[in-house]
């Protein structure tokens, strides 16, 4: 319950916007914590991505968070996580998303490394196919900018979904200077992105190629 010592546990039992009951801490990354929650109106379970109020007061964070929500809500594709809504209350701004079952591609890759065996070729090719389909759809509107194994979800049924459009930018957006910290993980970032140049879909293709190399080569 409230005050729990588990990570993110202080919000367990809280009801956001008088609608979403926080049930379980799932994980964290960047500026956000993710929880499993119960939607009292739709009577179904969702994932809630929450940013703390103190972070929201930092320059540009609120605008970036709302921009992510708007972009993500516009993307409806089987290989992209479905974002339902964006909201705010005393606990902070939040995004509600479909609740996925499975694990990140990072977890899958780590399992294969521990087992000291290569990733099964057919499974890897199926993952590549799903990711390319999701990216092709997203690229009609935006560049993801942060393709990496941590942002790829492998569902229990074997399907794959792209997640976390937090640093995505519309293809028509004006060029902005960004620090390395704000443009994704350096291992996967395209050279033109590191140099602060204007990006198109090829930057995501580069990152995906690095991910697939790691998937099959194990490094």
Q: Which residues are catalytic?
A: 146
Residues contacting residue 36 through CB under 8 Å, at least 6 positions apart: 22, 23, 24, 26, 45, 46, 47, 48, 99
Query: Which DSSP string corresponds to 134-153?
Result: HHHHHTTTEE----SGGGEE
Dist. CA 168–CA 139, nearest whole Å: 10
Kind of pairing between the strands at 44-51 and 20-29: unpaired
Dist. CA 193–CA 211, nearest whole Å: 16
* CA angle, residues 52, 58, 63, in degrees to nearest 5: 85
Kind of pairing between the strands at 83-89 and 44-51: unpaired
Residues contacting residue 138 through CB under 8 Å, at least 6 positions apart: 75, 77, 80, 144, 162, 165, 168
Gap between the terminal Cα atoms of the chain: 41
């Amino acid at each position: 319950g409230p005050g729990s010592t588990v990570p993110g546990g202080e919000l367990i039992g809280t009801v956001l916007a008088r609608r979403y009951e926080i049930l379980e801490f799932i994980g964290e990354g960047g500026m956000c914590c993710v929880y499993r929650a119960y939607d009292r109106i739709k009577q179904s379970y969702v994932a809630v991505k929450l940013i703390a109020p103190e972070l929201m007061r930092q320059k540009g964070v609120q605008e970036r968070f709302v921009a992510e929500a708007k972009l993500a809500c516009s993307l409806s594709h089987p290989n992209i996580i479905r974002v339902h809504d964006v909201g705010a209350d005393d606990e902070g701004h939040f995004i509600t998303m479909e609740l996925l079952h499975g694990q990140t591609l990072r977890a899958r890759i780590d399992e294969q490394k521990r087992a000291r065996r290569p990733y099964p070729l057919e499974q890897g090719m199926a993952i590549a196919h799903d990711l390319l389909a999701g990216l092709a759809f997203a690229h009609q509107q935006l560049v993801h900018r942060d393709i990496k194994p941590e942002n790829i979800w492998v569902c229990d049924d074997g399907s794959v979904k792209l997640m976390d459009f937090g640093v995505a930018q519309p293809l028509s957006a004006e060029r902005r200077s960004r620090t390395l910290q704000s443009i994704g993980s350096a291992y996967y970032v395209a050279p033109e992105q590191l140099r602060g140049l204007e990006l198109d879909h090829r930057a995501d293709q580069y990152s995906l190629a690095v991910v697939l190399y790691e998937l099959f080569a194990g490094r």
